[in-house]
Amino acid sequence: MENPPLISIALCTYNGSAFLREQLDSVIAQRYTQWELVVVDDFSTDATRSILEEYAERDVRIRLHYNEQNLGYNKNFEKALGLCRSELIAICDQDDIWQREKLEKQVRLIGDHTLVYHDSEFIDAGGRSMNRRISDKLSFYRGNAPEVFLFLNCVSGHSILMKKQVLQKSLPFPERFHYDQWLAFNAACLGSIDFVPEALVQYRQHSSNNTDILALKTVARSTDQKVLELERESEWLRLCAQQCTGKAQGLIDALYNQSIRRNDGFFNAKFGILVWKHRDTLLRILKKPDTSKFFYALRKAWGVKAKK
């Protein structure tokens, strides 16, 4: 590739000494060499800082920043991404392992797209393959329909390579929501997204994961938690309706309004019908037969009084 563009890689760390070396080694081993690694440590209390300084001494492409207090997962990534200088930005978790061709394949694909992502292979805490990929759980999406990401998300943060305009539209990250779903939604609002169907990251599953895509930590939810989830879903729909002014706005507005009516009552059939009617986009990521999608839409219609 002639004149390869610089890629800024945002890495957030917090007490990550158990797996950090493997991840840093895999970044340094990338075939694509035009990158800077922007690391923000979120007030770690283990050996993370000394590991980072050891690697930064060996590679001038690594820039280190330290928080004076713990910001938390979303806010720390927001800070790290804001420190990225390039027009192309990748996201990196502290406990995964990148395939050598990850950045190379993504930068070749991005072209006019606003964001590209890829499949990932699950590994356990010891680095052993779990013989499963994200694509076994979710259907991947390419296109420019932001409503695909209203209820579901197939774009994991560690798989993202995006243009800076996506970040600019997305900051600040809304509280209580997953930043990667928010980035995917905004990328589709701005343009189109695409994916590499190969597993370019070994995605480590362990007790400290911030996301639980394999539902390894599933616990029973209380009534209050179920009610809170309904209210949070409405707040998410409101944010999305404000954020996206394109052809999807009418549908998102309608979903938001019906969700409010659902929350105030026992059952709102109109909300479930709306989800079912637009299942080809709203439930596209759900890797299930239509019968399962029907019951998914039905469950969406139950309101706060039913939960109680």
pLDDT in tens, 141-154: 999 999 999 999 99
Q: Which pLDDT belongs to residue 223?
A: 85
Q: Which pLDDT belongs to residue 209?
A: 55
Q: Which pLDDT belongs to residue 278?
A: 98
CA-closest candidate to residue 189, choices 249, 244, 247, 152: 244
Rounded to an integer, what distance in angstroms lies between the CA atom of residue 61 and that of residue 82?
Answer: 17
Q: Is the peptide bond before 289 cis (omega within 30 degrees of 0)?
A: no
* Range from 18-32, 215-229, 250-264, 291-305 carrying the lowest mean pLDDT: 215-229
Over 90: is that where the pLDDT of 207 sits?
A: no
Angle ∠(280,217,234) on CA atoms, nearest 5: 45
Give the confidence band of 139 by pLDDT, cuts at 50, 70, 90.
Answer: very high
CATH H-level, domain 7-204: superfamily: Spore Coat Polysaccharide Biosynthesis Protein SpsA; Chain A (3.90.550.10)
Each residue of 48-101: pLDDT tens digit?
999 999 999 999 999 999 999 999 999 999 999 999 999 999 999 999 999 999
Give the confidence band of 163 by pLDDT, cuts at 50, 70, 90.
Answer: very high
What average pLDDT does range 205-216 have in this prediction? 66
Report in angstroms the alpha-carbon separations of 21 from 10, 84, 189, 275: 16, 22, 36, 45
Domain map of the chain by residue range?
7-204, 223-307
Over 90: is that where the pLDDT of 35 sits?
A: yes
CB atoms within 10 A of CB 233: 18
Over 70: is that where the pLDDT of 232 sits?
A: yes
